[in-house]
């Protein structure tokens, strides 16, 4: 387990360096489209789902070429266009022209370092959120999810495929599902609910690591454990940075001043809001536990140091009188009668042994020696 933590830390620093790639866009004109993110831009794959309330009203199409997008004509009343990968800026421009998206919206979609937010534009809402996950090394990572919500359409943009929303697609394929009946505003709720559920999953796994680390610290101290504590504190900060603004986003959506959500969907959004509040409380509680791990580590380290110092002090006290006796009889004065006794050497050794043993037994009875 310690090896895995070392591997996780070795990937953490390069990831933090990559996060500063956004500086490469400094000085560009507003609305200039360029992918900015911690990961390399993935090839773009567009998936279109058209659906209606009836069981037969469903079409799913995958676009791999720009020409296919130009020829698209909607068949049913509601549709969801999802893009995996942000490497094709030309396709993004085409989508922007088709749905009359503001250039600043397209710019924010490509700049994946955005904090969760919601902005109102004529005819649609623009929402960003952070999708949390644990990578193979156990490092908390996130990607940006961008949503453009209209009255009968939904556009979503992801940095790469994650499989998070596959259950929602399966539900849409079912003609009797609630998603088909309630429309795109309920679909937005379902997506945000999945995003929040990912926070629960990540927080649970981080909590297990905190519990395991606490057991390891109590069992035996290791300098690597302090580094793991610092890493966990950064992980909690990452979760907090994603959750606090997300709570405000959902709060704005459930008020829905722009009237994009039906009253019934707002009730579901209220439930998601409650979940975000619960998550924030859990993150704060777990962050206190992580801070407590640092205090436990330092306390145990100080206790071990005190034990070692006490042991050294005991041996110093035991050998001090012995050193004094040896020093006195090592001065080689002629007028020292004990030096001429036949058994003087053995008597002095016995005296030193009795004195050392007596002091040792005294300190052992006082539990200074364990």
Dist. CA 258–CA 150, nearest whole Å: 11
Helix axes 184-219, 263-328, angle to 10 degrees: 10
Note the pLDDT of residue 254: 87
At residue 1, the pLDDT reads: 41
pLDDT over 90 percentage in the chain: 23
Sign, CA dihedral 27-31-32-33, equals positive
pLDDT of residue 238: 87
Residue 26 scores a pLDDT above 60:
no
Looking at the DSSP assignment, which residues form a beta bridge with residue 129? Answer: 145
What is the DSSP-derived secondary structure letter of residue 120? E
Q: Is the Cα torsion angle 270, 273, 279, 283 positive or negative in sign?
A: negative
Q: 92 near 109, Cβ under 8 Å?
A: yes
Token pair, residue 82, equals 């999802």
Window from 1-5, 225-229, 244-248, 328-332 with minimum mean pLDDT: 1-5
* C-beta separation of 144 from 84 below 8 A: no
How does pLDDT run across 144-184, given as a tens digit for each residue? 999 999 988 999 999 888 888 889 988 888 877 888 888 89
Instruction: Give the Cα separation of 150 and 156 in Å (integer).
Output: 12
What is the C-alpha separation between 216 and 208, in angstroms, rounded?
12
DSSP string, 200-235: HHHHHHHHHHHHHHHHHHHH---HHHHHHHHHHHHH
Q: What value does the mean pLDDT take over residues 68-78?
A: 71
pLDDT band at 25 (very low <50, low <70, confident <90, very high): low
Predicted TM-score (pTM) of the model is 0.75
Average model confidence (pLDDT) for the chain?
Answer: 80
Kindly report, residue by residue over 279-294, the tens digit of the pLDDT: 999 999 988 888 888 7
Three-state DSSP class for 104? Answer: helix
Q: What is d(CA 44, CA 58) in angstroms, rounded to the nearest whole number?
A: 23
Look at residue 121 in the predicted model and tell me its pLDDT.
93
Band (30; pLDDT cuts 50, 70, 90): low
More confident residue, 65 or 99: 99
- Comparison of pLDDT for 170 and 14, the residue scoring more: 170
State both tokens at 182: 């309630």
Residues 6 or more apart in contact with residue 358 via CB below 8 angstroms: none
d(CA 120, CA 122): 7
Rounded alpha-carbon distances, angstroms, from residue 128 to 6, 108, 248, 250, 328: 33, 9, 12, 11, 83
Distance, CA of 13 to CA of 16 (rounded, Å): 5
Token pair 């629960």 is found at 200
- How many Cα neighbours within 13 Å face the side chain of 191? 25
Q: 228 and 213 in contact (C-beta within 8 Å)?
A: yes
Residue 370 pLDDT = 61
Q: Which residue has the tokens 């395991």?
A: 212
Q: Which has more pLDDT, 8 or 215? A: 215
- pLDDT band per the 50, 70, 90 thresholds, residue 22: very low
CA distance 261 to 267: 10
Q: Which two tokens stand for residue 166?
A: 């596959």
- Measured between alpha carbons, how far is residue 68 from residues 23, 26, 64, 251 in Å? 34, 34, 7, 37
| Residue 265 to residue 254: CA distance in whole angstroms | 8
Check residue 357 and give its pLDDT: 83
44, pLDDT greater than 50: yes
Q: What is the mean pLDDT of residues 124-143?
A: 85
Residue 126 DSSP label: E
Give residue-wise pLDDT tens across range 92-102.
Answer: 888 888 889 99
* pLDDT for 9 beyond 60: no
d(CA 200, CA 22): 29
**Torsion sign (Cα): 359, 360, 362, 368:** positive
What is the residue whose two structure tokens read 């962050």? 287
Give the pLDDT confidence score for residue 69 in this predicted structure. Answer: 60
């Amino acid at each position: 387990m310690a090896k895995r933590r070392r591997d996780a830390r070795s990937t953490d620093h390069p990831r933090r360096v990559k996060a500063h790639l956004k500086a490469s866009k400094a000085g560009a004109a507003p609305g200039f489209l360029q992918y900015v993110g911690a990961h390399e831009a993935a090839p773009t794959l567009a998936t279109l789902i058209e659906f209606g309330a009836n069981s037969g009203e469903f079409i799913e199409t995958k676009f791999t070429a720009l020409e296919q997008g130009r020829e698209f004509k909607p068949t049913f009343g509601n549709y969801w266009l999802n893009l995996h990968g942000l490497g094709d800026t030309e396709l993004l421009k085409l989508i922007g022209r088709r749905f009359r998206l503001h250039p600043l919206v397209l710019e924010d979609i490509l700049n994946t370092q955005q904090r969760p937010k919601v902005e109102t534009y004529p005819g649609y809402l623009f929402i960003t959120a952070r999708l949390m996950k644990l990578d193979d090394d156990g490092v908390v990572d996130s990607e940006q999810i961008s949503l453009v919500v209209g009255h009968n359409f939904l556009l979503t943009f992801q940095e790469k495929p994650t499989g998070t929303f596959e259950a929602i697609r399966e539900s849409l394929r079912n003609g009797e599902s609630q998603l088909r009946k309630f429309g795109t505003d309920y679909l937005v709720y379902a997506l945000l609910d999945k995003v929040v559920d990912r926070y629960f999953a990540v927080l649970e796994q981080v909590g297990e690591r905190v519990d395991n680390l606490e057991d390891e610290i109590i069992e035996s101290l290791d300098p690597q454990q302090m580094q793991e504590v610092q890493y966990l504190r950064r992980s909690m900060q990452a979760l907090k940075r994603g959750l606090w603004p997300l709570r405000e986003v959902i709060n704005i959506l459930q008020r829905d001043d722009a009237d994009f959500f039906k009253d019934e969907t707002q009730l579901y959004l209220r439930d998601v809001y409650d979940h975000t509040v619960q998550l924030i409380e859990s993150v704060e509680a777990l962050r206190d536990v992580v801070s407590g791990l640092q205090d436990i580590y330092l306390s145990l380290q100080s206790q071990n140091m005190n034990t070692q110092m006490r042991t050294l002090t005991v041996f110093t006290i035991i050998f001090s009188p012995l050193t004094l006796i040896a020093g006195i009889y090592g001065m080689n004065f002629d007028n020292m009668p004990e030096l001429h006794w036949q058994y003087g050497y053995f008597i002095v050794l016995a005296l030193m042994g009795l004195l050392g043993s007596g002091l040792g037994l005294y300190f052992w009875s006082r539990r200074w020696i364990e």
